[in-house]
Structure 1
Amino acid sequence: MPNSQVVHIIDDDADVRQSLAFLLSTAGLPVQLHESAVAFLKNLPKAQDGCIVTDVRMPEMDGLELQRRLVEARNTMPVIVITGHGDIALAVEAMKAGAVDFIEKPFDDEVLLTAIRSALARSSSDRERGARAAEIRSRLALLSERERQVLDGLVAGKANKVIAYDLGISARTVEIYRANVMTKMQADSLSTLVRMVLLEGNSADEGGRLR
């Protein structure tokens, strides 16, 4: 787990917060405590990346509303909801809204720790994928309009001569543009180029829903 990742504990019960902080700290996991969902959201812009562990029932704002607010803010930190026996329906709703897991009280310490480690690994993976997609977008921005048209044709699986016909240029000219695209995108093969474009596209789709 990257050192910059933190487990954000959100619970209105001070004893629960301290108990969870002790458990996670003993397991070597950095922790930040928040007394309410409202307090956490106020600090969200400067909150360290990681994951969120929140009770589902809290005054002012419950865990379900918190999850909705995080989606609206396009924040992608994984959320684990802690729920009482009678709150399963709320927990399921939270998962439909984007929470990655829910843990029923009373829970086994190892069950919670396993869920948290999984969420942190997911958060790290998402961040790395996002950084890679951003790098690809910066390369795409270097392409001219014609180079982008040739790239679109290549990603669509079209042969050079088909792209040439569609664009009204010669196949030789397409080859030149194709070489320029490969250079600017820093792709050593057509398959690498296609993977780059698909990664950027998938990231953009996810961004529209979550970020």
Structure 2
Amino acid sequence: MSATVYIVDDDTCFRAAIQRQLEQAGYRVVAYASAEQVLEQPPNENEPSCILLDVRMPVLSGLELQSRLLERGSTLPILFLTGYFDVSATVKAIKAGAEDFLIKPVQSDDLLGAIERALARHRSALALQREFDDLRSRFASLTPRERQVFVFLVAGKTSRQVADELGTTVRTIKAHRKNVMEKMKAGSRAELVLMGERLGVGTPHD
């Protein structure tokens, strides 16, 4: 799967040099000359990506951009680049979730290694999100009655107990249970319970 690196740096020469280096390494590169441009033309969150972000920039700093992106719900890993090591800025960036803090001029191996680690984390996050979206889609495919049965099963109720709760027969509940297991692609009751936990399904009376 291809990956994109977004470079945000107001230094034209440095930005161009890093872009060439990363493109030669096989990455797709999108370069921004300011933090404001990133907010105007946001990166694509749905493909493996990361952001190389300069700390010191006019108007909006790298740390301020990081904060704005987090407010917007961005999940892209951020690698900070700076020519001036600042302990307080480093601590603030890392606490806010920065992937790494690199000092200019950065060695090629260090840069590429940091980018690969960031991309690996984003790929994992995207895979988990796709799995969750698929799980929600399967749950949405259940009929209202099947959802009720799902919730009771997750709560540990037997078919007899569910039948009593819903005022129907055990045979009917077993049929609903079979449909639930098939639609949710659950191989066992335990797996169904885990799905319920991921979906945040509570008690039958929630």
Instruction: Measure, in 1, the Cα distance between the counterparts of 2:147 and 2:138.
Output: 11
Aligned to 2:98: 99
Does residue 108 (structure 1) correspond to residue 120 (structure 2)? The answer is no
Please state which structure has a larger fraction of its residues in helix.
Answer: 1
Letter in 1 for 2:34: S
Q: 1:167 to 1:47 in 2, by over 3 A?
A: closer
Cross-structure match for 2:38? 40
Work out the CA distance in 1 between the residues paired with 2:43 and 2:82: 26
- Structure 1 range deviating more: 30-39 or 186-195: 186-195
Give how far 1:22 is off.
2.4
- Over the matched positions of the two proteins, sequence identity in percent amounts to 43
Q: What's 1:119 paired with?
A: 118
The two structures, once aligned, show a CA RMSD in angstroms of 2.5
- With normalisation by structure 2, the TM-score equals 0.82
Query: Does the 8 A contact of 1:7 with 1:31 survive in 2?
Result: yes
Corresponding residue of 1:179:
178
- The count of corresponding residues between Structure 1 and Structure 2 is 199
CA distance in 2, matches of 1:169, 1:83: 67
CA contact (8 A) 2:141 2:183 kept: yes
Specify every segment of 5 or more residues in structure 1 that has no aligned partner in the other structure, as ranges: 202-211
Note if contact 2:45-2:75 (Cα within 8 Å) is conserved in structure 1: no
Report which of the two structures shows the higher radius of gyration computed on alpha carbons: 2
Q: Per-residue displacement from partner, 1:124-180 (whole Å, max 9, x unpaired)?
A: 222222222222212211223332232223333444445455555554443222112
Secondary structure at the counterpart of residue 146 of structure 2? helix
Q: Please tell me the residue identity of whatever aligns with 1:134.
A: D
Structure 2 stretches of 5 or more lacking a match? 201-206
Please report the TM-score for the alignment, with normalisation by the length of structure 1.
Answer: 0.80
Q: Distance in 1 between matches of 2:199 and 2:188?
A: 17
Residue equivalent to 1:134: 133
Q: CA 1:48/1:34 → structure 2, altered by over 3 Å: closer, same or farther?
A: farther
**One-letter code aligned to 1:67:** Q
Kept in 2, the 8 Å contact 1:80–1:102? The answer is yes
The answer to whether the aligner puts 1:154 opposite 2:153 as a matched pair is yes
Report the counterpart of residue 62 of structure 1 in structure 2. Answer: 61
